[in-house]
Structure 1
Amino acid sequence: MLSYFKILIIFILLAGHFYAQESDFGKPRIAILYSELTEKYRISNSLDLTDVITYWELFLMQDKVSYKVIYDDDLELGIEDDFDILILPSVEIISNDELSELEKFLEAGNSIICSGSKLFLKDATANKYQNLQTLFNLRDIESIASSKTGFMHTLKPNHLNNFTLSNNLILQISAKNQLLICSIQKNKMYECGNIYSENNITDKRTSLVYGSVGGGRFLWAGFDLNDIVGGADDLLTYKSLILNTINWMDKKSDTYIDNFPENLAAPVIAVIQYNNALQSNLIDSIKQNDIIPHLIVSPSQIVSKETLSKFSDNEIIFDLTELSSDLKLDIVTDLLENFKNDYDVSISSILVEDNFIAINDPSEIKKIGINTVLYYSPVAGLPQTYKSDLLIIPFFKIAEIPGSNKTINFLSFIPTVDCKKNPEEDLFRMINQLRSNGHNFTTISSINKWWRLRDLINLQLNKTEDDEFELKLTNKNLAEINDLNVYLDYFKKINLSSLTISLNDTLLNYYLDDTAKVIVISFDKIPPDSINRIKIKFSLE
């Protein structure tokens, strides 16, 4: 059996070299470093480098990504003219010459995916993570405590995935290989998520960082493919992140729109949990702060009609989480009808456990008058629209200022009677802090309306000249679109003083996101049912 496994590995390695020779024209030239120094002087007893490389090769071949395996000698001779992207999988030991070549590789405008690597120098006496910190401008790198068997890591929208998210928002990761975490330096890099602990994002540190160094780009992960232990969905999610990263690094132009317009940027929805301690003056005070709150009620409650009168029907959320986890739609239908008969309120938003969608047909949910389903989520996320036009939103209650402004967060308040302190003061203090950090309070209806508008905005980027692009922005909506940011990702070094972006001979506002190296174009008053051709003219440095 062992001999068979060795033959399989040799076949895969040879296939990797052969597969690289069939790389398609225009695709990035990708190299994977097989670190013989790591194999010889490996630090982690659980790390088998051959297994790691095999894991990566199977992944890339299955997704038809061309690559070539290189070795320490190849890297020391210099590869900046031969490859566009270098993958460093679980590289523990490198030489001084290799470190120097990695720096040159980035300076030449190439990119590195560093996955689970530590990049120690053999017999080094200095800070053992200094090479990682210097190469990628990271800070405060440390290993996960050896007593921990693993940890969880959140994912959030980022430039790598064009600000989209899958359903799987948390990765479960083994700590057997002394995985690494670091702190983020603002305006120098972005995190793809954060360490997750005890049902709260209590740590601002991360194991997933991306950004730009020199003329190139990088993704640093403190763990590797073989450290993912959360099952097939987690592994698929991490592989998708790697594939998105390769697309981000491929030096091709790309364009995508922001998740929200300026007036909805960093959206927060305020919700009040109904109980007998809720006073009308609290609702009035929240509204006086230019916030439209939502009221959460449950089927078992007797709700004050005076309180209900302060909310429109689409501002009331029906909380069904107290019921069975395998809640069927016929029961929901009866509960909604009973509530309507008792209070003359037609509810269109429900709050459920996350398995509700899996066991109930979205089209049938829509038929009973529900247009928005909130489901409890351990982290903030983004809406998803089903074919039935049903909007599904993760319900994440914030306890502190959110780390991402690209997701939807909920500020939840449960009224209490406390003679020693005033909980309402904490609520309004949090409201002020959120606003001072750039968050906008909005409603479920506004999110619902915008997400449907967003689905009907299309972008297409065409190169018309060596120094000119045409960006075609199509608004298929019957409504005008305002305050929209569009991202233009053009890897080459543009001379910004020569850059002009215009629509119908009118110059548009833009700025450079220097961390992600993308140009952000601001649009306003995009006419309904229109095709807009934007001219982007530039020269290269």
Structure 2
Amino acid sequence: MAIENKNKFRSHIFFLFLTGLIVLIFSALIYLLIIRTVYGRFSAAQLVPNAKAVNELLFGTFPSTAILNSYYTRNILSEESGWFDDNLKTWQKSLRNLDIKYQLIPDEDVELGKIDEYHLIVLSGCKSLSEREIIQLKKYLENGGSIFATGGTGSFSEDGKWRGWEFLSDVFGITFRKEIGNDDKTKIHTLRGGLPLTANIPTGFPLNIATWDHPVAAEVLDPRTTQVSFWYNHKLEDGLVREGIKESAGIVYGNYGKGRFVWMGFEINSVLGRQDDYVYFDRLFNNCISWLTYKPIAYLRNWPNGYRGAAMIAPIVSDSLQNLNHLLSVLGETKTKATFFVNPSIAGQNPQLIKSLVNFGEIGAFINLEFSNAISDNDDILKNILQDKIQLEKIIGVKVDGIYPSVNVSSENILKTLIASKFKYFISDSLDDRSVPKTIKRKEDKIISISRTVRDDYDIIRDFNLTEKEFQFYSYQEDVDRIAFESGLYVFKVHLDYQCSPQNVEVVKDLIRDIKSKDYWIATASEIADWSDKKEFIELRTQKRGSSRVAVTITNYGIFNINYLVVDVDLNQKAKRVSLDTEIIGTKKAQYKHKDGSQFVFMLIDELAAGESRTYYIDYDLYN
């Protein structure tokens, strides 16, 4: 009997042990499943705490960023100068705003190579560097470190002697072109679009930079370096546009060995101007830090289906109607839509001709607003505009959504009047704004502003007196290439009495063919305004999950569905075996492209409904 009880006791222990083991195994599997769901692919080694993790738990994290407090640079400045200290304070404040721990380090630490533990080194206005510092900084980059530099880095030796611009050439792959003079208080600095560093910044945004410390313009010579911006002002400066842009880089980024760098030809406290200047520079700065510290960055391409640029053909129909058929023939032959801006009085005199233009695209109003300067009563201004709009709509039989005012919309009264007139968009003759449309809001109402962005035939033919077709085409083509470089909008404004005349209209056909060959989306003004309005309500967020997963969340806060969105995701790690999944089962999947060894994933997102939010998981293995 005792033996029997003993055997039962042993069997109970074995059963309990087996049950506990099964529960433990299931718990481990559930834990691994949760880890897999949240962090994607992982190895068992990643689950075991290493010495670094234990050390950080016990003693806290070591500052990941170092700012060089260069006494060599201080020594070449006058005693009363606070320039260097001001730069340091701005950098410290900017890094604190990003919750980045930093350490001020002296020249000696760099010279002795005590910099390997830092992920990022800031060279803020460090004009003077010793040869030993330069050697150590190059080693640091070669081994995978990151450098954020501003101004004429290393152009003086430690004893204040002029060294030249070799550091810029050797490390950043650029050559010095000129210092920006301080004839003007500020200088416009144009930002490109479609780059990780300019994510979520309007393409062609004109950043206002102070010239008091003579910013530097350079030219990119090395394919490892990418130009982000340019100082050249195509509206005011002479010379060829292509060369002017190429030789006036103000921000570049790239690789040196295994490391990365960002160089700005100006100090970060040199940004002046309106609120937008500070808002978008903050985004630029944050993107730079994210890229240098290998954080993922996602951004929307400006145009549907990932087109490189957009273009709009905008004929002004006010006189010389005998030339209109020349233009219509070109549009028919090239199968191109245009947006005709018609003077209502001309439409009243030629109703059948103007109505026929609907078959070639869209019709907007070209209205004389010069009278508004002499009218103080907003009601009178509104009455005149509405009369012209209604008259034009009756003639063509469709709604008129846009207006091309004869003067720039510079006053608040005129702007409010255009909104009250229920126009969807207006064309601005100003060449001083961004290269993409801008939404202007007034309380619950809004209107889309589309800047002209490029020179028109009045500039090319009338003012420059370029009568040879080859010179006309080349001048237009320079702007086409510039807009493609920026990833912006090309507004080709033509007048019937100049570019549409029999001797010049052939240039229009050649230019349209050139635009189509360069991956442009040619659309009407309403199509462009609608796309820009919908895109403005799209929000992108990225989050690193573990070592090999990036979560991308895209949300449509607007009231309209949107199609053909292309998202560029910079994983900031070279990847292979990329896969794309959704957070929630049943979420519509996105098409994607990736090439092994690349750090970019391109996603095509279609039919994103109003109010819809989707989260995609990008899983990958590191490419060795």
Q: TM-score, normalised by structure 2?
A: 0.69
- Corresponding residue SS for 1:390: strand
d(CA) in 2 for partners of 1:96 and 1:453? 54
d(CA) in 2 for partners of 1:62 and 1:216? 25
User: Alignment partner for residue 266 of structure 1, among 261, 285, 309?
Assistant: 309
Deviates more, 1:247-256 or 1:144-153: 144-153
1:390 aligned residue: 447
1:494 aligned residue: 574
How many Å apart are 1:509 and its aligned residue? Answer: 3.7
User: Alignment partner for residue 189 of structure 2, among 135, 153, 165?
Assistant: 153
CA pair 238-172 structure 1, distance change in 2 beyond 3 A: same
1:143 aligned residue: 178
2:363 aligned residue: 315
1:162 aligned residue: 199
1:286 aligns with 2:335: no
Kindly report which structure 2 residues correspond to 1:154-303, keeping only aligned pairs within 5 A, or say none: 154-157=190-193, 158-165=195-202, 169-174=206-211, 176-185=212-221, 188-197=224-233, 199-200=235-236, 202=241, 203-204=244-245, 205-225=248-268, 227-228=270-271, 234=277, 237-262=280-305, 264-277=307-320, 278-298=323-343
- Corresponding residue SS for 2:197: coil
User: Alignment partner for residue 489 of structure 2, among 408, 414, 431?
Assistant: 408
Contact 1:29 1:84 in 2 (8 A): yes
How many Å apart are 1:50 and its aligned residue? Answer: 3.1
Contact 1:294 1:317 in 2 (8 A): no
How many Å apart are 1:286 and its aligned residue? Answer: 1.8
- Corresponding residue SS for 1:521: strand
Kindly report which structure 2 residues correspond to 1:319-398, keeping only aligned pairs within 5 A, or say none: 319=367, 322-324=370-372, 330-343=379-392, 344=394, 346-351=399-404, 356=410, 358-359=412-413, 365-375=418-428, 376-385=430-439, 386=441, 388=445, 390-398=447-455
CA offsets per residue over residues 354-383 of structure 1, 9 Å max, x none? 654745676x75442211133323254223
1:35 aligns with 2:89: no
1:511 aligns with 2:511: no
Contact 1:173 1:228 in 2 (8 A): yes
How many Å apart are 1:271 and its aligned residue? Answer: 0.7
- Corresponding residue SS for 2:169: helix
User: Alignment partner for residue 427 of structure 1, among 503, 508, 513?
Assistant: 508
Contact 2:575 2:599 in 1 (8 A): no
CA pair 65-383 structure 1, distance change in 2 beyond 3 A: farther
d(CA) in 1 for partners of 2:220 and 2:284? 19
**Paired AA for residue 438 in structure 2:** Q
How many Å apart are 1:121 and its aligned residue? Answer: 5.0
CA pair 172-29 structure 1, distance change in 2 beyond 3 A: same
d(CA) in 1 for partners of 2:366 and 2:409? 17
1:449 aligns with 2:558: no
CA pair 233-490 structure 1, distance change in 2 beyond 3 A: closer
2:619 aligned residue: 537
- Corresponding residue SS for 1:271: strand
**Paired AA for residue 141 in structure 1:** F
**Paired AA for residue 284 in structure 1:** S
Contact 1:270 1:412 in 2 (8 A): yes
CA pair 198-27 structure 1, distance change in 2 beyond 3 A: farther
Deviates more, 1:268-277 or 1:415-424: 415-424
d(CA) in 2 for partners of 1:319 and 1:27? 64
Q: Which runs of 5+ in 1 are unaligned?
A: 1-24
CA offsets per residue over residues 387-440 of structure 1, 9 Å max, x none? 535323333224422423522220111233699982212222222222222222
- Corresponding residue SS for 1:164: coil
How many Å apart are 1:72 and its aligned residue? Answer: 0.9
CA pair 69-440 structure 1, distance change in 2 beyond 3 A: same
Contact 2:205 2:434 in 1 (8 A): no
Deviates more, 1:284-293 or 1:257-266: 257-266
CA pair 47-329 structure 1, distance change in 2 beyond 3 A: same
Bigger share in helix? 2
CA pair 229-367 structure 1, distance change in 2 beyond 3 A: closer
d(CA) in 1 for partners of 2:435 and 2:499? 33
CA RMSD of aligned residues (A): 4.2
How many Å apart are 1:112 and its aligned residue? Answer: 2.2
CA pair 200-76 structure 1, distance change in 2 beyond 3 A: same
CA offsets per residue over residues 84-137 of structure 1, 9 Å max, x none? 332222211111221123223333443322121331252899982121111112
CA pair 271-329 structure 1, distance change in 2 beyond 3 A: farther
CA pair 114-355 structure 1, distance change in 2 beyond 3 A: farther
Contact 1:273 1:414 in 2 (8 A): yes
d(CA) in 2 for partners of 1:286 and 1:208? 40
Q: Which runs of 5+ in 2 are unaligned?
A: 1-59, 456-475
d(CA) in 2 for partners of 1:232 and 1:523? 33
d(CA) in 1 for partners of 2:511 and 2:269? 41
CA pair 37-267 structure 1, distance change in 2 beyond 3 A: same
Q: TM-score, normalised by structure 1?
A: 0.78
How many Å apart are 1:272 and its aligned residue? Answer: 1.0
How many Å apart are 1:144 and its aligned residue? Answer: 2.6
CA pair 144-335 structure 1, distance change in 2 beyond 3 A: same
d(CA) in 2 for partners of 1:499 and 1:225? 37
CA offsets per residue over residues 430-462 of structure 1, 9 Å max, x none? 222222222221112222332344345554545
CA pair 370-223 structure 1, distance change in 2 beyond 3 A: same
**Paired AA for residue 500 in structure 1:** S
CA offsets per residue over residues 205-247 of structure 1, 9 Å max, x none? 2212233444443321212245456577656654553234224
Kindly report which structure 2 residues correspond to 1:88-127, keeping only aligned pairs within 5 A, or say none: 88-122=123-157
User: Alignment partner for residue 168 of structure 2, among 119, 129, 132?
Assistant: 132
CA pair 234-152 structure 1, distance change in 2 beyond 3 A: same
d(CA) in 2 for partners of 1:49 and 1:59? 15
CA pair 333-63 structure 1, distance change in 2 beyond 3 A: farther
Contact 1:153 1:170 in 2 (8 A): yes
**Paired AA for residue 73 in structure 2:** T
Contact 2:574 2:599 in 1 (8 A): no
- Corresponding residue SS for 1:160: helix
CA offsets per residue over residues 322-348 of structure 1, 9 Å max, x none? 455698753453233222454425432
Q: Which of the pair has more CA radius of gyration? A: 2
CA pair 425-26 structure 1, distance change in 2 beyond 3 A: farther
CA offsets per residue over residues 165-191 of structure 1, 9 Å max, x none? 2996242431x5443211235854433
- Corresponding residue SS for 2:289: helix
d(CA) in 2 for partners of 1:59 and 1:474? 28
CA pair 359-36 structure 1, distance change in 2 beyond 3 A: farther
Deviates more, 1:275-284 or 1:439-448: 275-284
- Corresponding residue SS for 1:432: helix
1:520 aligns with 2:601: yes
CA offsets per residue over residues 10-61 of structure 1, 9 Å max, x none? xxxxxxxxxxxxxxx9998333222211222359998842343345445556
